[in-house]
């Protein structure tokens, strides 16, 4: 203010100029930003729920409230990922306040003040209160602690009072939603006819023989699929393919990697540290003070890197070893010998087979599938290959089922842990293990060990210098300025042998990462800009580890589904359709027994048997679970063969050898209970999906953040 007064004395014009500059500086983001009125976008609606528009200011106000509450409790600022999570929380709160509230009001559901008191300090304490006011040592809940807290609430800082107010609000919301879901659960009903059908599906047994020609028996490249055929298929199955707004890009990266000089300087430093570690009177304290990475002094095999696991076999107590390089970090270790721990470590791989739902029939089908895979492995099938193609655990499946090292401290579910830690030698566990996640086929790769290794470790990470970072940016900027189209982009990549083109397909508008690129939000926002056209090239994007230049290669539109949006999936469907026609034409009119028909067909035709299978748990050796084939087979009479028909993954001729009908029973209560409980267990999910669909939610947050 003193400065402005002084200027006012000198010149009225200067005051005007500076005042305008200050105003533009303070509100320029609001006036000139990408979502501003002067910036060409006066739409300040961040979304719409059940016909009600959510203004960006109202949305941001709620996010700010959550943020203040979080930072007051945690005592620190949010990370970017945490802020993204808080925005999701705020958005979901709007959905509850609007879409759910309509349902609550229509049914007259409320939570009274008396109920709230009962939840906080009465006879029906909320689980959230139990958790917040339990002794962390004993786990015992202390109601007096709640009462005393509330007595002193008005003496606490405003932030804490506001935090409690928000907490009580969440308790009300939790209770009213619980009432609503319980009301719907109580309305779940299974008719007797449906229970009887489930009983028959589980207990009627048949012995079958069948001829099966899988689609994969015909090489894909021999079946030509045209764009017009894909268009026809999509047109006929439009309801199966829901459109989404996505973008596809190709990009090149310019890594910010430490140069030779950066690495050499750190190598010299760590050699000096090795000498200090060798003579330090308190080696663990010395290591802790000088390491960029916090590492435990006592390590089990479960907590070691793969490189250290191998190296430590050669260590002698008292020796200093290294440096070992892992990525951009150098490690040195001082070895202090071993001791026995109360906790053991082991390493194992698994193949997880999950049931489709919680019904007994679905669980039985999953068990049959798991038993079948176990039998294949015993007969010589490759465990890792089967894990990659059959396991329902995507994280381990891509590593051949490997779970790495883990300890017997509850890191794994109890049945799995007991099976692994009861094994005394590496190898396949001879039975399928059931847990709450499904059925596990387990191979122990390193049996249990309770040895702890005392290691004082120093890890020093190579950081690129500013000159190294500047050089990487110069190359990226030079590349971006030299290309304007995808054709030029491709030509420039060909000339620079050090560049590798990566692809990211069908990126949603809300994505924060692009493939392995963390904090890739700016790339996503560029791809979704109206002026980003197909084949246009981006500016340089910066992340902590690299610079990126991208080219937009594809767009999909929620309201305009095109073949290219689902090309691979549609191609597989049409190709299999044509394979089915080809196989069926070759089998049509064939006579004789199944072996004779298979022989006449030639390579690719399989004849197999299935004994005492049911509709609920039927698993065909090569074809797997095929409900179409099972339905056809159970509809036959003993000794009857079906016509040629198409199943899930190939073409069949089914023959029923015999069928044993389920014994007559008068009471289907057990099966009625199973089906009802299965429906109740899915009720929360189904209710949430139904309410969201009915609310016709439009989420436009990605335009703003």
Evaluate whether 455 touches 318 at the Cβ level (below 8 Å).
Answer: no
pLDDT(200) > 90 = yes
pLDDT of res. 597? 95
The residue with greater pLDDT, 381 or 213, is 213
- Among the listed ranges 259-268, 284-293, 527-536, which one has the minimum average pLDDT value? 259-268
- Find the range with the poorest average confidence among 23-32, 447-456, 490-499: 23-32
45-83 residue pLDDT tens: 999 999 999 999 999 998 988 888 777 766 778 877 788
Cα-based angle 99, 105, 111 (whole degrees, multiple of 5): 105
Burial 356-392 (b: 16+ CB within 10 A, else e): eeebbbbbbbbbbbbbbbbebbeeeeebeebbbebbe
CATH architecture of 259-463: Roll (3.10)
**CA angle (259 as vertex; 258, 264 as ends), nearest 5:** 95
Three-class secondary structure of residue 119 per DSSP = helix
* Predicted local confidence at residue 524, as pLDDT: 95
DSSP label of 472: H
Q: Which two tokens stand for residue 685?
A: 């999910």
CA nearest to 537, candidates 494, 496, 495, 479: 479
More confident of the two residues 402 and 133: 402
Per DSSP, the three-state class of 557 is strand
Measured between alpha carbons, how far is residue 139 from residues 129, 131, 136, 442 in Å?
A: 13, 9, 5, 35
Interval 94-110: pLDDT, tens: 998 899 988 899 999 99
pTM above 0.75, yes or no: no
Of the candidates 471, 472, 495, the residue with the CA atom closest to the CA atom of residue 482:
495
Nearest Cα to Cα of residue 705 among 498, 528, 475, 459: 528
- pLDDT band of residue 140 (cuts 50, 70, 90) is confident
Cis-peptide, bond into residue 198, ω within 30° of zero? no
CA 34/CA 451 separation, integer angstroms: 59
How far out from the chain centre does Cα 178 lie? 27
Supply the pLDDT for residue 137.
67
Could you tell me the sign of the dihedral formed by the alpha carbons of 171, 177, 179, 185, in that order?
A: negative
Say if residue 525 is exposed, middle or buried (CB neighbours under 10 Å; 0-12, 13-18, 19+). Answer: middle
Bigger pLDDT: 193 vs 5:
193
Q: What is the mean pLDDT of residues 689-695?
A: 90
**Which CATH number applies to 205-242+567-660?**
3.10.50
Higher pLDDT, 511 or 166: 511
Mean pLDDT, rounded, for 382-405: 90
pLDDT at residue 42, as a whole number = 54
Cα distance between residue 333 and residue 318, in whole Å: 10
Per mean pLDDT, which of 29-38, 76-85, 482-491, 615-624 is the most reliable? 482-491
DSSP 363-388: HHHHHHHHHHHHHHHHTT--HHHHHH
Closest CA to 605 of 216, 222, 224, 207: 216
Mean of the pLDDT values across residues 397-426? Answer: 89
Q: What is the DSSP string of 334-345?
A: EEEEEEEEEEEE
Span 651-674, pLDDT tens digits:
999 999 999 999 999 999 999 998
Does the pLDDT value for residue 40 go beyond 70? no
pLDDT tens digit sequence for 598-631: 999 999 999 999 999 999 888 898 898 899 999 9
Q: Is the pLDDT of residue 299 over 80?
A: yes
Average pLDDT over residues 560-578: 93
Average pLDDT, the chain: 87
The residue-averaged pLDDT of 392-408 equals 88
Roughly what angle, to the nearest 10 degrees, separates helices 360-378 and 383-390?
A: 150
**pLDDT, tens digit (0-9, with 9 covering 90-100), for 150-187:** 998 888 888 788 878 888 888 898 899 889 988 988 88
283 vs 260: CA distance, rounded Å: 30
Q: How far apart are CA 543 and CA 647, in angstroms?
A: 49
Q: What is the pLDDT of residue 8?
A: 35
Question: How far is Cα 659 from Cα 200, in angstroms, rounded to an integer?
Answer: 12
Helix H or strand E segment including 168: helix 158-186
Residue in the structure block whose two tokens are 């470590």 = 345
Per-residue model confidence as pLDDT tens digits over 302-320: 778 889 988 998 999 999 9
Quick check: 37 pLDDT over 70? no
Q: What is the pLDDT of residue 198?
A: 92
């Amino acid at each position: 203010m003193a400065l402005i007064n002084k200027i006012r004395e000198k010149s009225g014009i200067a005051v005007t100029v500076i005042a305008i500059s200050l105003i533009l500086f303070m509100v320029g983001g609001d006036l000139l930003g990408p979502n501003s009125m002067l910036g060409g976008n006066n739409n300040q609606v961040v979304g719409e729920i059940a016909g009600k528009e959510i203004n960006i200011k109202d949305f941001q106000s709620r996010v700010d409230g959550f943020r203040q509450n979080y930072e007051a409790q945690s005592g620190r600022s949010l990370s970017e990922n945490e802020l993204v999570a808080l925005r999701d929380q705020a958005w979901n709160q709007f959905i509850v306040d609007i879409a759910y509230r309509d349902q609550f009001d229509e049914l007259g559901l409320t939570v009274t003040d008396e109920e709230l008191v009962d939840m906080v300090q009465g006879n029906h304490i909320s689980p959230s209160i139990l958790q917040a006011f339990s002794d962390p040592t004993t786990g015992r809940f202390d109601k007096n602690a709640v009462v005393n807290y509330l007595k002193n609430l008005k003496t606490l800082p405003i932030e804490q009072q506001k935090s409690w107010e928000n907490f009580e609000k969440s308790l009300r919301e939790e209770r009213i939603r619980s009432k609503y879901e319980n009301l719907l659960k109580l309305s779940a009903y299974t008719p007797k006819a449906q229970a009887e059908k489930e009983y028959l599906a589980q207990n009627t047994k048949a012995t079958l023989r069948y001829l099966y020609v899988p689609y994969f028996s015909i090489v894909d490249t021999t079946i030509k699929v045209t764009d017009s055929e894909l268009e026809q298929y999509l047109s006929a199955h439009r309801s199966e393919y829901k459109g989404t707004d996505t973008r596809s890009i190709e990009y090149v990266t310019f890594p910010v990697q430490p140069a030779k000089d950066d690495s050499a300087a750190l190598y010299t430093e760590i050699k000096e540290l090795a000498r200090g570690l060798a003579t330090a009177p308190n080696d663990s304290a010395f290591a802790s003070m000088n390491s960029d990475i916090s590492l435990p002094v006592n390590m089990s095999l479960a907590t070691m890197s793969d490189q250290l696991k191998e190296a430590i076999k050669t260590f002698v107590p008292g020796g200093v070893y290294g440096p070992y390089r892992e990525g951009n970090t150098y490690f040195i270790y001082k070895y202090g010998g071993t001791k026995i721990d109360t906790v053991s470590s082991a390493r194992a791989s698994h193949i997880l087979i999950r049931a489709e739902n919680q019904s007994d029939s679905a669980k039985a089908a999953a068990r049959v599938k798991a038993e079948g895979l176990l039998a294949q492995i015993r007969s010589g099938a490759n465990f890792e290959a089967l894990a990659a193609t059959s396991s329902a655990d995507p994280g381990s499946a891509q590593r051949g089922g490997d779970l790495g090292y883990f300890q017997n401290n509850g890191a794994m579910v109890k049945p799995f842990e007991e099976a692994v830690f009861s094994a005394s030698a590496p190898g396949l566990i001879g039975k399928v293990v059931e847990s709450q996640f499904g059925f596990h086929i387990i191979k122990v790769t390193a049996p249990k060990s309770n040895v702890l290794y005392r290691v004082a470790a120093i890890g020093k990470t190579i950081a690129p210098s500013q000159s190294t970072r500047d050089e990487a940016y110069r190359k990226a900027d030079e590349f971006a300025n030299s290309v304007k189209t995808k054709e030029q982009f491709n030509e420039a990549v060909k000339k620079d042998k050090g560049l590798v083109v990566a692809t990211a397909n069908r990126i949603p508008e809300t994505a924060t990462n692009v493939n392995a690129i963390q904090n890739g939000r700016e790339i996503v926002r560029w791809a979704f800009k109206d002026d980003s056209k197909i084949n246009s090239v981006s500016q340089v994007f910066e992340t902590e580890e690299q610079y990126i230049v991208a080219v937009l290669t594809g767009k999909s539109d929620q309201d305009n589904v095109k073949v290219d949006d689902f090309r691979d999936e549609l191609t597989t469907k049409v190709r299999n359709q044509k394979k089915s026609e080809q196989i069926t034409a070759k089998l049509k009119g064939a006579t004789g027994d199944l072996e004779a028909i298979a022989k006449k067909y030639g390579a690719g035709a399989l004849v197999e048997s299935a004994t005492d299978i049911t509709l609920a748990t039927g698993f065909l050796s090569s074809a797997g679970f095929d409900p179409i084939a099972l339905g056809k087979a159970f509809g036959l009479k003993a000794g009857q063969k079906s016509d040629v028909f198409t199943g899930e993954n190939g073409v069949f001729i089914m023959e029923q050898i015999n069928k044993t009908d389920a014994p007559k029973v008068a009471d289907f209560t057990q099966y009625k209970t199973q089906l009802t409980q299965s429906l109740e267990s899915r009720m929360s999910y189904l209710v949430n999906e139904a309410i969201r669909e009915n609310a016709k939610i439009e989420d436009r947050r990605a335009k703003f953040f």
